[in-house]
A = this chain, B = another copy of it.
Amino acid sequence: MVRHMANPLTPDVLVDPVVLTRTLVDIESVSRNEKVIADYVQDVLKQAPHLTSDRHGNTVMARTDLGREQRVVLAGHLDTVPINNNFPSTVVDDLIYGCGASDMKSGVALALHLVATLPDPGYDITFLFYEAEEIDSQYNGLNLVSQEHPEWLLADFAVLLEPTYGVVEAGCQGTLRALIRTSGRRAHTARAWRGVNAIHAAGPVLRRLEDYRPRTVTIDGCTYREGLSAVRIAGGVAGNVVPDECTVEVNLRFAPDRTEKQALEHVHEVFKGFDVELTDSAAGALPGLNAAPAREFLTAVGAEAAAKLGWTDVARFAALGIPALNYGPGDPLLAHAPDEHVEIGKIRDGAATLHRWLAAP
């Protein structure tokens, strides 16, 4: 039996972002099992003479302190969803297949490649490699660090290397879930008129959802498309009982020009006359494309930004007043899929773009 204790993230591997991606995929790191990969990454950071590093749980941080005028964050999560017959990696033509190849070890590879190859960047850089993004936010390393070491996140601009297929996705929409409840009075269905049917009473709730016309909002050239969806409905006591309660769970995805409070007011307005109970919400993030490093980043990429519709960890930076965007080589449509893969060309493009941007100013 042979056990490899040596760090597979060798200088030879770090110098090539494609080889590095594959090597990272081959270090299993399903959420809550990030210790090994965090140890290897921390080891790489400690060996870089231009960085000082620190650790919180399985989240590791390193930063330059070169006295640059502005500081940028490059961040990525180390964990993956559970393996699904897609470990270790395989390569077919110009595609690397494997759990996390898209979401988001190819993004992590871009950052680690910069650690190893860009000792003298034009901005000060903070690298954040964090744990547990794929599970409940109470475990999310970026969330924990934003509470316990908020200074680690401080910067003028942040890039989250989540899969965007090389597109710049700016800001993010907020999300809010609420329960809309109807009530009635139980009765035997043989004497249904003695009761009040709470499921029938939910008809108008569904009608308002059917009739709802979501807004489309453009901010900094990014177009956000809102949506209001029923995601769950439940009601019923027994096969012979007029039910006295029915619950519709709705999910509002809202453009970042609304605050969480305004989003909740909007839901109350849509379901006026009904009992509305907020269950959870998360603020969106404005695209913040007017920050100088953001404009320079867009120039380096050579393309316009698009709106990020899903909620992402960029909102954790936005909450601290730091503009942030998503940019990564993976394809978001392949995230969490059994045939998850990443195009080798997208990894090379991404590495070149980040080098161009960070070397320049």
Q: Which residues of A come within 8 Å of B, CB atoms?
A: 173, 175, 177, 188-193, 197, 199-200, 202-203, 206-207, 209-210, 214, 225, 227-243, 246, 248-249, 251, 253, 309-311
Residues of B within 8 A of A240 (CB): 175, 231, 251
Residues of B within 8 A of A189 (CB): 175, 227, 229, 231, 251, 253
Copies of this chain in its oligomeric complex? 2
Known contacts A234-B233, A236-B231: does B202 contact A209 (CB below 8 Å)? no
Known contacts A199-B248, A207-B203, A231-B236: does B190 contact A311 (CB below 8 Å)? yes
B225 near A243: Cβ-Cβ < 8 Å: no
A177 near B239: Cβ-Cβ < 8 Å: yes
Cα A248 to Cα B239 with chains together (Å): 11
Cα A243 to Cα B233 with chains together (Å): 10
Residues of B within 8 A of A248 (CB): 199
Q: Mind listing 8 A-B residue pairs with CB under 8 Å?
A: A175-B190, A191-B227, A191-B310, A192-B229, A199-B232, A200-B230, A232-B239, A234-B234
A239 near B233: Cβ-Cβ < 8 Å: no
Residues of B within 8 A of A225 (CB): 191, 193
A206 near B200: Cβ-Cβ < 8 Å: yes
Cα A311 to Cα B240 with chains together (Å): 10
Residues of B within 8 A of A231 (CB): 189, 199, 236-243
Residues of B within 8 A of A191 (CB): 225, 227, 309-310
Residues of B within 8 A of A209 (CB): 197, 199-200, 203
Question: Which B-chain residue is minimally distant from A173 (CB atoms)?
Answer: B190
Residues of B within 8 A of A173 (CB): 190
Interface core residue of A188, A225, A230 (most chain B CB under 10 Å): A230
A210 near B200: Cβ-Cβ < 8 Å: yes
A202 near B233: Cβ-Cβ < 8 Å: yes
Known: A200-B206, A233-B234, A233-B235. 6 other contacts (CB 8 A): A175-B240, A189-B229, A190-B309, A230-B243, A232-B236, A240-B251
Residues of B within 8 A of A210 (CB): 200, 203
Residues of B within 8 A of A199 (CB): 206, 209, 230-233, 248
Residues of B within 8 A of A214 (CB): 192-193
Question: Which B-chain residue is minimally distant from A248 (CB atoms)?
Answer: B199
Residues of B within 8 A of A192 (CB): 214, 227-229, 253
Question: Which B-chain residue is minimally distant from A253 (CB atoms)?
Answer: B190
Cα A238 to Cα B188 with chains together (Å): 32
| Minimum Cβ distance to chain B for residue A57 (Å) | 26
Cα A246 to Cα B230 with chains together (Å): 11
Cα A167 to Cα B202 with chains together (Å): 37
